[in-house]
Structure 1
Amino acid sequence: MPKRKNKDIKEYKLKSGKKRYMFKLYLGLGENRKPIKTTRRGFHSYSEALEVYNQLSSQGPKNYAKVRQITVNDLYDLWFNSYKSQVKESNANKVDEYFSNHIKPYFGNSFIDQISVPELQTWIEDESKKIVNYRRMYQLFKRLFKYAYTLNYVKFNPCDKLIIPNISKNKKNKGAKNFYNRKELEKFLVSAKKFNFKFYTYFYLLANTGLRRGEALALRWKDIDYINKIIHVRHTVAIGLENKVILDTPKTQASVRDVPLTDALAKVLKEYRIKQGKICDKLFPKRNGGWKNPSDAGDWLRQIYDNDTELRKITVHGFRHTFATLLIEETDIKPKAVQHILGHENISMTLNIYTHVTHEDKRKSLAQITSLNL
């Protein structure tokens, strides 16, 4: 093994046990006679660190432009204070969670100008192994670096130089079976009804309408139109800043919609309201009359599965997939009409086949969904 002559380049280990290299370099005195020093870390090899070391050394103090310094945490606070006023509160909360859980633990106390490309490459590779939505974390960090560049805290955006990992096919297809066929759904509903009628009503509602979990939790009784056999979807329950439960607008503009109410679902809802007893304007209120946390739906589902271990497990969102699957398999409704019923903004989510939904398609879809009694 060749002898490494540069003693300024040190070896260190990450929490994962991986080996990296770093150096601290004195460049000389600046124009104000103050010493100019810099630190670089995150190099995968000694030779990689040496190359950058030599580049900086050759610049000297006169050609080395010292950028203003700010930590990632402080930069994020500056950016987020502006960002949160431009988006829905629930979206701001998600971004804040992304930063707190996936960027802050790695780089929160680091100076933004001291973060190297190798360090970022290691980070994004680690994230890609942990979570499916790792690209969102990358886009957020890239946005922060762009903001830092605008404020003259960095001289370039290192995220532009990253090699973004591809999600494996197995990971992409992880949710491929996240839905029930008709027999599985019937088995689930029978079990849920015996266990808890409120839980049963909630999942019966999802399976018969394709509503998102928050949309169902946000329903008021006035949204149920028994005469015209329509459910009005106008809101969703979401988590806002400081993890507060809020009533929000639906996910997209297309999500504000009217969903067909089947005769079978109407019967279940009427029975549920009788069992609900007390007068309340909400379908699924908290004991104090407030809005349920979206995570409560997951708790209900876990209780059903714990009570009946023979049931195949799917997620709460899987009931939306179940509705769409049965709708496509058991009717001749066109994908564009399914898109309208589900409130998808992009047709690619509902088999991008047709170019538009005619009024006849909508009328026909409503009639056929009414006959799709589960």
Structure 2
Amino acid sequence: MTKIIEYTAKGKTLYKFNFYAGKDELTGKKMQVRRSGFKTKKEARLALSRLEYKKENGEFAPLANSNITFEELALQFMNAKEASLRKSSFVEESYTMRRVLEQLGKAKIKNIRGYHCQNAVNAWAKKAPVNVNYIKMLANQVFEYAIKSGYITKNPMDAVIMPKRPPKKRVDNYYTKQELNEFLTFVKQNRPKLYPLFRLLAYSGMRIGELLALTWDDIDLEASTVSITKTLSKVKAGHTKIDETKTKAGHRIISLDATTINILASYKREQSKELFSLGVLNTLPKPLPVFDKSLTIRKKNPGKRFNMPNDIARYLEYIYKDMPKDFKHITLHGFRHTHATLLIESGANTKTVQQRLGHANINMTLGIYAHATKKMENDAINGLSLYMEN
């Protein structure tokens, strides 16, 4: 029978006990539960009774290796999760996990408390305010994995109060019709080699990874179509590969306008001439990538595809540096958003927009309608006002 022992700490009389919970079936070791700090013998007896009840009903489960660190457990978790993720998604999560480990990695999982998690979240909020929820979610998943694996019984992340994000000025990540025309005109005049790329990006609605994966056999200049079946995916830091599009809906054939087709045809001829003049046209594997590094880096890796979307993002920044300071900046994804918005404003229905963008879920398309229809509503009201006044 377990004895409740009286002891003194800091001048106070307290109670403790050492409960034998049986043997671990895997290791054969005795399982001891030590509890202390009870203010009264009655409190200690009540806690002991609960443990005895759990033991009798087979509910008592020993904790696994209690000295394991958060980093060791996170590695187990990521290894278990890898098979369920696309390679690019796994790379992204692994990269984000590094931020989690900066704050919690070296701590033993059993010693992490709510205030440790709160401090970690506060630090993430300062360093990466945009991604703090995503970082916290990954940390939370590791703690849930720890519970399921028997390392801890409670998730210390449950005690966290999310810090309030400072309000930031909202800038819509898309261009109006006028803004897009101004941007493309500037690029055509000042960065002509990049003009076909940004024209196709804006007039097709493709993701940047899909655009960089294109080869010339994907574009039918006679039928004015482009076949989208692949994308540029990140496999590890600084490395990419050509992969299938994310979803079945991503496999699609879309039509292009006559002007864009003519621009691409002219660009293809110029690309062939340049690669021929450099003496590499007949040595390159076919089919050639539509957009290769001869776009901007003459005589350096001509005919080779861009490895990273960041390469194009960097050139976009160069363009913005040359433009008027007050001209709105958008991301590469913003050109896809621009395409969708202008399609809607021109009268395209939701199904057409969904199929053209390769959205697997119609809700993704409907979200774009929210701001597009707001402009259409304003135009309608202004039109009504003019009609009533005349």
TM range (shorter): 0.7 to 0.9
Paired residues of 1:238 and 1:294 also in contact (CA < 8 A): no
One-letter amino acid of the structure 2 residue matched with residue 189 of structure 1 = L
Q: Which runs of at least 4 in structure 1 moved beyond 6 Å after TM superposition?
A: 27-38, 52-55, 58-66
Alpha-carbon separation, structure 2, partners of 1:145 and 1:349: 31
Paired residues of 2:340 and 2:368 also in contact (CA < 8 A): no
One-letter amino acid of the structure 1 residue matched with residue 233 of structure 2 = A
The residue aligned with 1:367 is: none
C-alpha change, 1:163 and 1:227, in structure 2 (3 Å) is same
Deviations 1:48-95 (A, max 9, x none): xxxx9879xx76998797652211111121122222233211010000
The residue aligned with 1:99 is: 97
Correspondence list, 1:187-266, <5 A:
187-266=182-261
Tell me how far 1:151 sits from its aligned partner. 1.8
Tell me how far 1:341 sits from its aligned partner. 1.1
The residue aligned with 2:134 is: 136
C-alpha change, 1:292 and 1:242, in structure 2 (3 Å) is closer
The residue aligned with 1:180 is: 175
C-alpha change, 1:125 and 1:214, in structure 2 (3 Å) is same
SS at match of 1:317: helix
| Residue among 80, 83, 86 paired with 2:81 | 83
C-alpha change, 1:241 and 1:53, in structure 2 (3 Å) is farther
C-alpha change, 1:179 and 1:29, in structure 2 (3 Å) is same
One-letter amino acid of the structure 2 residue matched with residue 267 of structure 1 = N
C-alpha change, 1:94 and 1:281, in structure 2 (3 Å) is same
Tell me how far 1:36 sits from its aligned partner. 9.5
Alpha-carbon separation, structure 1, partners of 2:360 and 2:202: 20
Paired residues of 1:335 and 1:352 also in contact (CA < 8 A): no
Deviations 1:29-56 (A, max 9, x none): 8879999999xxxxxxxxxxxxx9879x
Number of residues paired by the alignment? Answer: 311
The residue aligned with 2:351 is: 336
Correspondence list, 1:31-180, <5 A:
68-100=66-98, 102-128=99-125, 130-164=128-162, 170-171=167-168, 174=170, 176-180=171-175
* Segment of structure 1 superposing worse, 124-133 or 58-67: 58-67
Structure exhibiting the larger radius of gyration computed from Cα positions: 2
Deviations 1:110-139 (A, max 9, x none): 112211122223333443453323222222
The residue aligned with 2:334 is: 318
The residue aligned with 2:291 is: 284
The residue aligned with 2:343 is: 327
Tell me how far 1:159 sits from its aligned partner. 3.0
SS at match of 1:84: helix
The residue aligned with 2:385 is: none
**Can you give the 5+ residue segments of structure 1 that lack an aligned partner in the other structure?**
1-5, 8-26, 39-51, 355-374
SS at match of 2:107: coil
Percent identical: 30
Alpha-carbon separation, structure 2, partners of 1:37 and 1:160: 25
RMSD between superposed Cα atoms in Å: 3.5
One-letter amino acid of the structure 1 residue matched with residue 334 of structure 2 = G
One-letter amino acid of the structure 1 residue matched with residue 93 of structure 2 = V
* Segment of structure 1 superposing worse, 209-218 or 304-313: 304-313
One-letter amino acid of the structure 1 residue matched with residue 236 of structure 2 = L
Tell me how far 1:345 sits from its aligned partner. 2.3
Paired residues of 2:206 and 2:336 also in contact (CA < 8 A): yes
C-alpha change, 1:291 and 1:308, in structure 2 (3 Å) is closer
Tell me how far 1:350 sits from its aligned partner. 2.1
| Residue among 290, 295, 300 paired with 2:315 | 300
* Segment of structure 1 superposing worse, 318-327 or 154-163: 154-163
Alpha-carbon separation, structure 2, partners of 1:156 and 1:59: 21
**Can you give the 5+ residue segments of structure 2 that lack an aligned partner in the other structure?**
1-8, 11-15, 21-28, 52-59, 276-280, 282-286, 294-300, 370-390
Paired residues of 2:63 and 2:152 also in contact (CA < 8 A): no
SS at match of 1:85: helix
Alpha-carbon separation, structure 1, partners of 2:201 and 2:355: 16
